[in-house]
Structure 1
Amino acid sequence: MGPRNLFGHGGAMPSPAINARAKLQALRERPQAKVLIIGGGINGVGTFRDLALQGVDVALVERGDYCQGASGASSHMIHGGIRYLENGEFRLVRESVVERNRLLRIAPHYVKPLQTTIPIFSTFSGVLAAPLRFLTHKQQGKPKERGAFLIKLGLGLYDSFSRDGGTVPRHQFRGRQRALEELPRLHPGIKYTATYFDASVHNPERLTLDVLQDGEKAGLVSGGSWSDTARASNYVSLQSMTAGVPSGSGSPAAGSTVRLRDELTGELFDFTADVIVNTTGAWVDLTNQAMGAASAFMGGTKGSHIVLDHPELLDACKGREIFFEHTDGRIVLIYPMGDRVLVGTTDVDADMAQDAVCTDGEIEYFLELIGHVFPDIPVDRSQIVYTFSGVRPLPRHDATQPGFVSRDYRIERQASAPGAVVFSLVGGKWTTFRALAEHMTDNVLAELGVERKVSTAKLPIGGGAGFPADDEGIQKWIKTHVSDNRDAARTAVLLTRYGTRAEDVISYLDGGPDRMLASTRELSVRELEYMAGHEQIGHLVDVLIRRTALAFRGLVTGELLNEVCEVLAGPLGWDAAAQSREIHHAQEVLERYHRVKVHSLVA
């Protein structure tokens, strides 16, 4: 829905090999399910997993790639949302802290503790303005900076939510001298720093894939063969909906047939479901409109980020996120992600008719905010290696300023659509995806008259099962899986990318002749073939942005484009013309959406 983007373009492509699109074929061979989920971001995928674990016949379609929209354009944080306290969203903060702690336990391969420091420039500033912000959800006049008193109060309350099952240390305050000893490059005018712990997710796209594959594996039947009760396919869009025939006796819903479109070939097919779950994020209203169930739930805001290759700034952060209030009152962040530094984010009303891209004005804003806390570290545009933007799936907020719009979620039930009951997700954030999926699943189960069988609260996600608990365990795992053809550095890359599912990948790699790519030491020929066969790759750009972090880190070259495309051509059935289109498509996506220009070796 919304403006046609380059990820799910409508041009016909040669049909990929059957193993790469087996999931789509499963939808077409049995075009019905009890539940159809529209939208393959983290909330849709989380709901898919939960329903599949309950034994529900569920299908999911995503018009582009999984985790392509807002889910892949987040600040890469798993956090309780300390600033939501100011909005009075205590329920959301409590749930977020509980879910943050839970994800640290059930997804330790991707979710890691994140030490966070707030530079503070005053003691009592904002004390009088805070109650007005709390009551009106608006900024009254010139922003009043939050001082140490307010921040101390908020962190105390924040810590209280972690008492039950907390997995991170409590906050600490530092005076100016001690603060500058710890972070000497901070602005010398600071009066205090406050340090607390949240969490980060360095691989949101791969975590989404893990959740999806858990749902698919829930469809395994005795003997290890696949059933067709949990099917999902990317690059499939919803076109329309018409009344259908009940799919079974005793069904509480009348059933409806939706028209779906294969975005890689342009082919149309029909699919029938009793219950439809709309998790298309900021496009919820447009999706409902296509189904004949018009709604006005959404009012998304755009958030942009930049990624810097800047060793000096990276060192200045000392491994911590720097989280602070900029001069306009906006809460912003700077934090290291591996060998790069992520800077964000903006919060402006989104125009759904336009592509979400990082603008020149936003880049200037980011460069300015870095200077606000690190004034003696020069930063310029040449150090930007990647930019990204997304539209937050926030509720319609009318006159409420974007920064004060609730980050909580709700589920809307509509029976006015022709036939099927439609559940629409309004809101939702990364941190609470498991709890949100649980709530959505419970609503669907009640609609179907089915009891919950399994809780996901303590269920490890994908490669988080059996993941080493500490650095010593990680080194032991790496040493165990090193071979004559795979050194420790390569093994570490695989563990980071897949968690303990790397064991399956390693088994595949060791099953035949393999070689590392000449253009990167982070991918091999057989690993790309594994991705093509097991991770539903539709386009070359999927590998660069969402199956690896090569684009995020600014490591995409013309040589890499050509080499990866050549390897994928076999399993995906791309002829020479298709390869050329894929390379140009990747170049266009990287330039248009991420401000990355890559000169290909192919004309």
Structure 2
Amino acid sequence: MALPDQAPDTAPDDTIIDLLIAGGGINGAGIARDAAGRGLSVMLVEAEDLAQHTSSASTKLIHGGLRYLEYGEFRLVREALIERERLWGMAPHIIWPLRFVLPQLHSPRPAWMVRLGLFLYDHLGGRKRLPATETIDLRTAPQGKGLNPGTCKAFIYSDCWVEDSRLVVVNAMDAQARGAQIFTRTRLVSARRDGKTWLATIADNTGQRTVRARGIVNAAGPWVEDVIQRTADPATAGNARTRGVRLIKGSHIVLPRLYEGDHAFMLQNPDRRIVFAIPYEGEFTLIGTTDEAWTAPPGPATISQGEIDYLLETVQRYFAVNIGPENIRWTYSGIRPLYDDHAASASAVTRDYVLDVDAQDGAAPLLSVFGGKITTFRKLAEHALEKLGPHFPMAGPAWTAGAVLPGGDLPGGDFDAYVAELANERPGLPRPLLRRLARAYGTRTEHVLAGARTIEDLGRDFGGGLTEAELTYLARNEWAVTAQDVLWRRSKMGLHVLPQTEAHVDAFYAALQDG
């Protein structure tokens, strides 16, 4: 996306923005939204697409992190559990409850320990709407269908599912609606302090420009240390040696549906690691995640053969299926930028976050985000603005707790009722299409459909109900530029359309941009 009125190596104008945010993942988008809502002027730059890396490669859960209790992460778990129901209320179109079955077969933890953990999980975060834990016998319960023989006792507990990429996008949309400038395909080249402000150089495919800002937020995820090094102040760059990230690769595989029902499974492996099996996109089961140390520079990640073998072995340990690599429909991998607490194993590294503010002698601040998890993004943003508060006394108070995200204002928070209302108003449109659109866009579905009453009104169908109207909406409202942006981030339609669809969508976007 081109920057407005820019030219290579231009001098800055007299405009000074309050915050320049580097990174368009969940933390950058969340901080941009919070800051803009407090009345600060905000510019966010993302070198690629929103949520292109870590924030689109999660297990897609809004959860407290049951296994983190084992490592004594009580503060983190409590904060995440409180956020769980809060976020569900803010975005009920892209976040919804999910029940998890936790079989005790193959468990390296005794049942009493698991039950104690679940008791804490039920009560630590003020659960109100989600059902409590229960114990079942998988030999007779419907949740046992499809599992290997010998599986008997299991616990069922509650967490929530989230469309992770869409959570990033709706935060960016809300930030923009509150005055923030959001630039994708735009990178922070360098920055240096100049008096009481930062002088930063940013670039897109048309050239460079300079921006003056009162503060910088480094929310670059795996690239957080790289951004620190791009600041010219040697003292600031030195922080990269004392505050660090530990890069951990997590991979997932998508298989044809392994079992019936809307429940998920939390599978305990003999090595004490956890793998989830989750209903996915109607026809599939999502399996993940792994924990592998990433020692190369940050960049695109792909699944290794060892990770494939590990996940398939887990599936075969629990499910009565004959499954192999040939059955994998899709894989995705991401690098999680965890705060380096020097834990011995990748699985034990803390998922908590650290916010580091460099503002020596009253200089313009640089706030760097280390670690974090998607569930706590809103609270992280709130804490970030608290840290920056002394530098921005004009900023308004905290406001995001309970403030709905774009599309989340479903009447009564009732998703099914909203879909029924759409179907009643537009009987000429297929109900499955309306349901999919509502899951993606919530009340913004009406903007996607505009005045459409029949499928023909939506223009060309690129396959699976992905229409010209939807592609145009995504380009104009959600920074979509390529087929990858649409098929694998703002949706997972890539699983439901023919391979040649990608080329057709790219051609459509090229023509749209030329027009």
> TM above 0.5, one fold?
yes
In the alignment, structure 1 residue 298 sits paired with structure 2 residue 248: no
Q: Which residue of 1 aligns with 2:446?
A: 503
Q: Which residue of 2 aligns with 1:569?
A: 510
SS in structure 2 of the partner of residue 67 of structure 1:
coil
1:205 maps to a residue whose letter is: S
Which TM-score applies when normalising by structure 2? 0.91
Query: Following the alignment from structure 2 to structure 1, what is the Cα–Cα distance between the partners of residues 5 and 39?
Result: 17
1:555 Cα offset (Å): 3.0
SS in structure 2 of the partner of residue 25 of structure 1:
coil
2:230 maps to a residue whose letter is: A
Structure 1 unpaired stretches of 5+: 1-20, 126-144, 220-229, 246-253, 575-603
1:277-288 alignment runs, 5 A limit: 277-288=217-228
1:97-496 alignment runs, 5 A limit: 97-121=81-105, 145-162=108-125, 164=126, 166-175=128-137, 177-179=139-141, 181-201=142-162, 203-219=163-179, 230-245=180-195, 254-262=196-204, 264-265=205-206, 267-292=207-232, 293-294=236-237, 295-296=240-241, 297-308=244-255, 310-311=256-257, 313-315=258-260, 318-337=261-280, 338-353=282-297, 355-374=300-319, 376-398=320-342, 400-415=344-359, 420-467=364-411, 469-470=413-414, 472-482=416-426, 484=428, 486-496=429-439
SS in structure 2 of the partner of residue 299 of structure 1:
strand
Query: Following the alignment from structure 1 to structure 2, what is the Cα–Cα distance between the partners of residues 519 and 277?
Result: 39
Q: Which residue of 2 aligns with 1:581?
A: none
Query: Following the alignment from structure 1 to structure 2, what is the Cα–Cα distance between the partners of residues 209 and 428?
Result: 18
1:556 Cα offset (Å): 4.3
Query: Following the alignment from structure 1 to structure 2, what is the Cα–Cα distance between the partners of residues 451 and 71?
Result: 28
Query: Following the alignment from structure 2 to structure 1, what is the Cα–Cα distance between the partners of residues 182 and 411?
Result: 26
Residues 26 and 527 (structure 1), Cα distance of their counterparts in 2 relative to 1, 3 Å cut: farther
1:482 Cα offset (Å): 1.0
Q: Which residue of 1 aligns with 2:491?
A: 548
Q: Which residue of 1 aligns with 2:36?
A: 52
Deviations 1:421-445 (A, max 9, x none): 1001111101111111111122223
SS in structure 1 of the partner of residue 52 of structure 2:
coil
1:566 Cα offset (Å): 2.9
> Is this contact kept in 1: 2:464–2:496, CA < 8 A?
no
2:465 maps to a residue whose letter is: E
1:68 Cα offset (Å): 1.0
1:188 Cα offset (Å): 2.1
Q: Whose strand proportion is higher, 1 or 2?
A: 2
Deviations 1:308-341 (A, max 9, x none): 1x24x142xx221110211222111111112211
Query: How many residue pairs align between the two structures?
Result: 501
Q: Which residue of 2 aligns with 1:530?
A: 473
1:199 maps to a residue whose letter is: C
Deviations 1:454-488 (A, max 9, x none): 5111111111112564465134322243154x333
Query: Following the alignment from structure 2 to structure 1, what is the Cα–Cα distance between the partners of residues 343 and 57?
Result: 25
Structure 2 unpaired stretches of 5+: none
Residues 483 and 554 (structure 1), Cα distance of their counterparts in 2 relative to 1, 3 Å cut: closer
1:119 maps to a residue whose letter is: P
SS in structure 1 of the partner of residue 245 of structure 2:
coil
Query: Following the alignment from structure 2 to structure 1, what is the Cα–Cα distance between the partners of residues 21 and 83?
Result: 23
Is the deviation greater in 148-157 or in 491-500?
491-500
1:492 Cα offset (Å): 2.2
1:153 maps to a residue whose letter is: L
Query: Following the alignment from structure 1 to structure 2, what is the Cα–Cα distance between the partners of residues 555 and 382?
Result: 19
Query: Following the alignment from structure 1 to structure 2, what is the Cα–Cα distance between the partners of residues 562 and 96?
Result: 40
Q: Which residue of 2 aligns with 1:91?
A: 75
Query: Following the alignment from structure 2 to structure 1, what is the Cα–Cα distance between the partners of residues 197 and 498?
Result: 46
Deviations 1:79-126 (A, max 9, x none): 01111111111111111111001111111101110100111027xx8x
> Is this contact kept in 1: 2:134–2:156, CA < 8 A?
yes
Query: Following the alignment from structure 2 to structure 1, what is the Cα–Cα distance between the partners of residues 498 and 390?
Result: 48
> Is this contact kept in 1: 2:482–2:505, CA < 8 A?
no
Residues 480 and 27 (structure 1), Cα distance of their counterparts in 2 relative to 1, 3 Å cut: farther
SS in structure 1 of the partner of residue 191 of structure 2:
strand
Residues 52 and 113 (structure 1), Cα distance of their counterparts in 2 relative to 1, 3 Å cut: same
Q: Which residue of 2 aligns with 1:588?
A: none
> Is this contact kept in 2: 1:241–1:418, CA < 8 A?
no
> Is this contact kept in 2: 1:445–1:452, CA < 8 A?
no
> Is this contact kept in 1: 2:426–2:453, CA < 8 A?
no
Q: Which residue of 2 aligns with 1:7?
A: none
Q: Which residue of 2 aligns with 1:137?
A: none
Deviations 1:549-588 (A, max 9, x none): 122x253411x123222322222128xxxxxxxxxxxxxx
1:450 Cα offset (Å): 2.7
> Is this contact kept in 2: 1:325–1:332, CA < 8 A?
yes
> Is this contact kept in 2: 1:307–1:342, CA < 8 A?
yes
Is the deviation greater in 41-50 or in 520-529?
520-529
How much identity, in percent, do the aligned residues show? 33
Query: Following the alignment from structure 2 to structure 1, what is the Cα–Cα distance between the partners of residues 22 and 69?
Result: 32
1:155 maps to a residue whose letter is: L
Is the deviation greater in 564-573 or in 471-480?
471-480
Query: Following the alignment from structure 2 to structure 1, what is the Cα–Cα distance between the partners of residues 188 and 149?
Result: 55
